[in-house]
Structure 1
Amino acid sequence: MSAPAVELRGVSVHFGRTVALRELDLTVGRGEALALLGPSGSGKSTALKAVAGFVRPHTGRVLLSGEDVTDLPPHRRGLGVVVQNYALFPHMRVADNVAFGLRARRMPRRQVEERVSEVLSMVGMADYRRRFPRELSGGQQQRVAIARALAIRPPVLLLDEPLSALDAALREEMLAELLRLRGELPDTALVYVTHDQGEALALADRIAVMRDARLVEVGPTDQLYHRPRTEFTASFLGAANLLPVEVVAAPGDGPATVRLAGAEFRAEPTGGPVAAGARAALGVRPHRVEVRTDGGMPARLLAVQWRGTGFRLDLELDGGTPLRAEVSSVDGLPPVGARVGVSIPDGCPLVTTGAGG
C-alpha cells in the first residue's frame, strides 16, 4: 500500500503566545479530497500553510508521500497552491503566469508551451492566454490560478478559501468546475479550506471540522452530516437544532428513547454510549421539522422569513426551547404569534451535551 499523500503528526503552530494550531493529527490519502471546515480562527488555514511550508510547526512533523518535509521550503515540496486572492502576477500575461512554475523548474520551452496549453484547456481558459489578469473577471482569474497550480502536476493541490471572493453565481460555477477537475485528476489529493458547509459537502470525500485551533471531528461527509458525534459538528455542518433532552432508556447497542417537552422519541447515539437519566442534545435538521395547525408538540410561531426556495420558521416549544424549521410553503399556517403543532421524526442523532465544545 502506498504512503498517504499528506500526513500531519502532532502539528502545533504558535504565533508568539497565540496557539494557532494545537496537536493536529490528520491524514489525506492519494486521490482523496479532504475539506478543512470551520469558522474564522479555527486553525484550518494554518493547517494548510503548515502543509505548504508557509509556516513551520512549533511541534510535530509534516510528511508528503511518506517523506518528512517539515524543514523543506515551499518551493521544494512540489505542491500546487491556490489562495483566496489568486496571487497572479499582474505584469504577466495568462500564459506566463501559468508557465511560471514550469520555467522555475527549467523545463524545456516546448514542454512548457504544451503543458500551458493543456492546463488552460482543462480550465476553459485557452482563448485567454494573451490577456493580463486585470482584463479578466474574478472567476476567470480563479481559473488561471488553478491552472498555474496544476501545471506542475502536483501530487497534492491545496486550496485556501478559493471561492470566497466570488459572487454566488460564480461560486456555483467554479464549484462545478472543481468537481469536473477532480474527475480528470483521480490521483491528485486535494485539501480544501472553507467555512462554507455547502462547498465542503459537495466537493470532499471527508471533512475535518475544526474549532479553536483543534480538530473536533473527522469523517466521511455523509457520516458527519447524518451522524455527527459532537454538538459543534451538528450545529456547524447543517445548522441542526440542538434540543436538550432527557434519556429515558438506553439499551447500549441500539436507539435510545429520549423525552422532549413531554413527548418521547427514538434517537441514535453517535458520541458513544449514553445512560438513562443523562442529559443530552438531539440534533434535528430544520428541514426535518414538520409544522402544522394541530397535533404534535405545542409551540409558538415567532417569525417567518422567506428564503427564496422556501420559508424559515422560528418557533419556541413549551418550556422555552427554541426550534427552527424549514418548509416549502406557509399556506394554512396561522400568523406570527399564534400556536402551532410541531413533529420531529425518530432516528435523529443524539450527542452528549458538551461534546465538541
Structure 2
Amino acid sequence: MTAPAVELRGVSVHFGRTVALRELDLVVGRGEALALLGPSGSGKSTALKAVAGFVRPHSGRVLLSGVDVTDAPPHRRGLGVVVQNYALFPHMRVADNVAFGLRARRMPRREVEQRVTEVLAMVGMADYRRRYPRELSGGQQQRVAIARALAIRPPVLLLDEPLSALDAALREEMLAELLRLRRELPDTAMVYVTHDQGEALALADRVAVMRDARLVEVGPTAQLYHRPRAEFTASFLGAANLLPVELVAAAPEGSDGSDGTVRADGLATVRLAGAELRAEPTGPLPAGTPVALGVRPHRVEVRADAGLPARLLGVQWRGTGFRLELELDDGSRLRADVSTVDGLPAVGERVGVSIPDGCPLVPAGAGA
C-alpha cells in the first residue's frame, strides 16, 4: 500500500446507548479507492462521518496523511465530501455552488474562476454554470456536487451512497463518470460508502465489508469476491448460496497430498447431500469447525439428469435469464442463475444440480 491518506485507529462511535461503530481499524492509501460495503445500519456511513469530522469518536483516533485530526472540525480537514442528497445551495447558481469552498478559503477571484471552469469541464457541466440546482436533473446535480468537492483539490474524496437517489440508467452513467474521474485523479484517495456490491466491485481497489457496527473483512476486491474468509462476506458480496457441508479431508497449507487424504491441488474434500465435492478453504479450519460451501448462483449448473438430485421449487424470469429456486435431498436450499429453462422439468419435479470444484469453503455460523 502507498503512504496512508486516511487512518482509523480503534474508532468507536456511540449515540447514547447505541453503538454505531465499534473499534474500527482501517487504512486507506494515497490514490486508493476503498469501498465501505454493508447493509443499512452496519456502520459504514458513521465511519465516513468520523473521517469527515461530522461525528466525534467516543474512542480511537482519526489521522489524515499522518496528522491526528480527531478533534479538528470538518472545515479544517480539507476533504471533499459528496452526500446522498447532494446538499447544493438552492439559491446559488452552479458556478457559485462549486466556488463556495474556494471562496471560504479566501482564494483570489481569478483563481476561483479558473478552478470552477476546470472542474465543471471535468464533470461535463461547463455549459450549466449559470443554472440553479432546481433547473438540473438528478444526475446533473450529482455532477455539480462532485465538482464542488473536487474544486478544493482534496487529498481524500468521501462519497456517501452518491448514486442511491438516481434511476438505473443514471446510476450506470454516473458510475462510468466516477471511473473516469479516478483515472484523471490518480493521487486522490476515495472512500466510497455503498450497499450496492456492483458499485463497490466496479470502483474500488479494496472493499471493507461491515455488519452490526463492526468490520467483518477487508481486502482486495477480487480476493474478497472469489475467496471470502467470512460467511457473511460470501453471502453479501456476490449473494453466494451458503450450503452446510461436512469436511471430509482438510487441505493444510503446503500439503503435497502424499498421505492419500489431502489433495495435492490444495482443495479440501467435503460432503454435500451424500456426494463428495472439492472446495477451496479460504482460511484456517480448526478441527470440528462447522463449514459452509459458498456457491455463486451463476456457477450452479442445472440439467434434467445432472449431478446432485434436487427438486425445482420455483422459476423467476429476470430479463437476461432465469433464477431457479432448488432444494437438495438433504433439505439444503440454493439458487441458480441460468440463461434458459428449455429442457428442464416443471416446478415441483426432480432435476439434477452440478456444483464445480474450487468453490470457497468458509467457517459457518457467523450468520448471513
- Normalised by the size of structure 1, how large is the TM-score? 0.98
Deviations 1:30-85 (A, max 9, x none): 00000000000000000000000000000000000000000000000000000000
- The correspondence for 1:341, drawn from 337, 341, 352, is 352
- Aligned counterpart, 1:269: 281
- Aligned counterpart, 2:29: 29
Counterpart CA distance in 2 for 1:355 and 1:228 is: 13
Counterpart CA distance in 1 for 2:140 and 2:245 is: 50
SS of structure 2 residue aligned to 1:5: strand
Deviations 1:140-172 (A, max 9, x none): 000000000000000000000000000000000
Counterpart CA distance in 2 for 1:103 and 1:2 is: 32
The question of 1:247 aligning with 2:247 is answered yes
- Aligned counterpart, 1:139: 139
Residue 29 of structure 1 and its aligned partner are, at CA, apart by 0.1
- Aligned counterpart, 1:88: 88
Counterpart CA distance in 2 for 1:110 and 1:2 is: 35
Which letter maps to 2:279? A
The question of 1:311 aligning with 2:313 is answered no
Counterpart CA distance in 2 for 1:278 and 1:219 is: 23
Residue 355 of structure 1 and its aligned partner are, at CA, apart by 3.9
Give percent identity, aligned residues only: 88
Pairs aligned (count): 356
**8 Å Cα contact 2:31-2:190 kept in structure 1:** yes
SS of structure 1 residue aligned to 2:115: helix
Which letter maps to 1:192? Y
- Aligned counterpart, 2:13: 13
The question of 1:196 aligning with 2:208 is answered no
**8 Å Cα contact 1:250-1:274 kept in structure 2:** no
Where do 5+ consecutive residues of structure 2 fail to align? 254-265
- Aligned counterpart, 2:269: 257
Deviations 1:265-289 (A, max 9, x none): 11111131343x6531000000000
**8 Å Cα contact 2:20-2:213 kept in structure 1:** yes
Residue 356 of structure 1 and its aligned partner are, at CA, apart by 6.6
Comparing 81-90 with 265-274, which one deviates more in the overlay?
265-274
SS of structure 1 residue aligned to 2:72: coil
**8 Å Cα contact 2:41-2:212 kept in structure 1:** yes
Which letter maps to 1:14? H
SS of structure 1 residue aligned to 2:4: coil
- Aligned counterpart, 2:335: 324
- Normalised by the size of structure 2, how large is the TM-score? 0.95
Residue 335 of structure 1 and its aligned partner are, at CA, apart by 1.0
Q: Which residues in structure 2 correspond to 1:209-288 (within 5 Å)?
A: 209-253=209-253, 254-275=266-287, 278-288=289-299
Change (3 A) 1:356 1:67: farther
Q: Which residues in structure 2 correspond to 1:138-217 (within 5 Å)?
A: 138-217=138-217
SS of structure 2 residue aligned to 1:63: strand
Give runs of ≥4 in structure 1 deviating > 6 Å: none
Deviations 1:106-150 (A, max 9, x none): 000000000000000000000000000000000000000000000
SS of structure 1 residue aligned to 2:51: helix
Counterpart CA distance in 2 for 1:235 and 1:92 is: 44
- Aligned counterpart, 2:307: 296
